[in-house]
Amino acid sequence: MRSTRSTVVAVLASVCLTASMVVPPPALAAVPSWTKLSLGGIGSFNETGLLRTSDGKLHVVWEQDDAPSDASIRSAVLSPAGKILTRGVVVQHWLGLETTPKLVPWGGGVAVVFNGDQDANAANPYSVGARYWATSTDGNVWALQPGSLANHTVVNSTIAATTEADGTLVTVQGLNSQLFYDVGSNIATPSPTLDGVIGGQSGSGLASPQIVRAADGSVWVGWYQIFESNQGYWVQQILPTVGAPVRAPSSFNANQINSPNQQVAMVARPSGGVYLAYCEPIATAACAKVGLWKVGSAKAATVPGSTAGNLVSLSNGPGGRLEIGWFSQAAGKVNVVWTNRSVTKFSGARTLNAVPSWITVHDLFVDGTKGPVDLLSNEQLTTTGYPIAIFHTQLLPALKLTVSPATFSHTSKATLTFKVTDVGDPVPGVKVTFDGKSARTNAKGIAVIKLPKGVARAKRTAVARVTNWQAASTTVTTN
């Protein structure tokens, strides 16, 4: 099920710089443009697979139709600053491909998990609708691997994939009212090893699965159940032992279907905890707010500004932070919120403006594992032919700069203590500039600038800058 009327969007900065009578404030971060990432035919159900590697590069894959019955999986590598570095082809000229390929780490490189039919030859092991995989050392040149990743064969449901600590692939995909998961690969196609099964609850329609490996090595699957009394968002541990399924709190209302319309937003924090972000419905709204739930907690935290959200995405951030992105259908905006390192506080929502010529937003995915948040969205445009394409942009988190004292007399010396934070956490190494002097913040986010007696009376702007954050400022008054 997909959103049929949504929008998407380019960025408004959330930190307002105060005008200065002496030192002009720095320019706000340039409003980023959305870049068209896909080059061929894209369908409304196409989702991007994302993986950030240790060098900071973001790897992206997607399925596209090059001609009738001629499908491919394309790849791109983006720089840490969000620039397209290279493009590649994973597989091409297949008869049909499922539209949600997924990326996972693989040895010293990356692997993409997908399924489809290479041709109409039933004897071809790549034409039985099994889950397959291809690997690459750089994300540009790909090698299709022999064998398969599943016993069941299906080409009509979302794929999810992760790896165990030793690199073993773990994949999951839906079929009818159940999810089937498989550990490892097999040279045979399909694999003779029976898949594990998730399901058995009343009703059907287990959809949009996600799979993650927690910090303790356990593997968890999350999904949305569409129908009947078990509707809502669910999670279940599958490795090393199978646990009981648990429904996320406040994720069900009998009067609303709050389907994610894309892969369930779930991550495992490297520092511990499995988290799920989802729309919380009420009787009169499918998404009254977005909840962020730590699996096992009694209730979900409310994400600020998330009234009437939709198309929810979730990413790990540096130092244990989480980043939540969602589309607000009522406002026609995309929003991003950061947490602090302990996931106990939220930033305010940063709002992005619409991509020119949009008509429909089909999905939204975010990745902010290194700090800056890359946003990818599948959108239909109003231009000739109403094309559908995948777009990308990047948003920087915002610093907060405070000063004490904020006012001092020109008749005496002054010691100004600046503090730089991000959602309450101190940010070290930030350069703070004021009245021609500068200092860098220490481990507590503190920078001190001393001024002599006789500084001219005026209002001046202090500025804080560091790589991967949007600059912040505050005003200091000399009486």
- If one compares 328 and 131, the residue with the highest pLDDT of the two is 131
Answer whether 447's CB lies under 8 Å from 463's CB.
Answer: no
- If one compares 165 and 5, the residue with the highest pLDDT of the two is 165
Q: Is 122 left (phi over 0), alpha (psi -120 to 50) or beta?
A: alpha
pTM of the predicted model as reported, rounded to 2 decimal places:
0.90
* Res 356: pLDDT: 82
- Mean pLDDT lowest for which of 26-40, 111-125, 363-377? 26-40
Tell me which residue of 158, 157, 159, 183 sits closest to 170, measured CA to CA. Answer: 183
Share of the chain above pLDDT 70, in %: 92
* Res 309: pLDDT: 81
Residue range 30-52: mean pLDDT, rounded: 88
pLDDT digits (tens, 9 = 90+) for 185-200: 999 999 999 899 987 5
pLDDT digits (tens, 9 = 90+) for 320-358: 999 999 988 777 788 999 999 999 999 999 988 768 888
Residue range 313-318: mean pLDDT, rounded: 97
In Å, how far are 108, 260, 326, 367 from 360, measured between CA atoms? 38, 16, 15, 22
Tell me which residue of 112, 240, 230 sits closest to 178, measured CA to CA. Answer: 230
* Res 119: pLDDT: 97
Tell me which residue of 124, 111, 107 sits closest to 159, measured CA to CA. Answer: 111
Residue range 172-178: mean pLDDT, rounded: 84
- Mean pLDDT lowest for which of 68-72, 74-78, 201-205, 257-261? 201-205
pLDDT over threshold 80, residue 7: no
* Res 407: pLDDT: 97
* Res 200: pLDDT: 57
* Res 229: pLDDT: 77
Tell me which residue of 289, 334, 282 sits closest to 308, measured CA to CA. Answer: 289
pLDDT over threshold 90, residue 89: yes
Tell me which residue of 341, 303, 304 sits closest to 426, measured CA to CA. Answer: 341
Mean pLDDT for the chain overall: 90
* Res 354: pLDDT: 65
* Res 174: pLDDT: 86
Share of the chain above pLDDT 90, in %: 80
* Spatial distance between the Cα atoms of 447 and 337, rounded to a whole number of angstroms: 26
pLDDT digits (tens, 9 = 90+) for 268-304: 999 999 999 999 999 999 999 999 999 999 999 999 9
pLDDT over threshold 90, residue 104: yes
* Res 173: pLDDT: 92
- Mean pLDDT lowest for which of 75-84, 208-217, 261-270, 305-314? 305-314
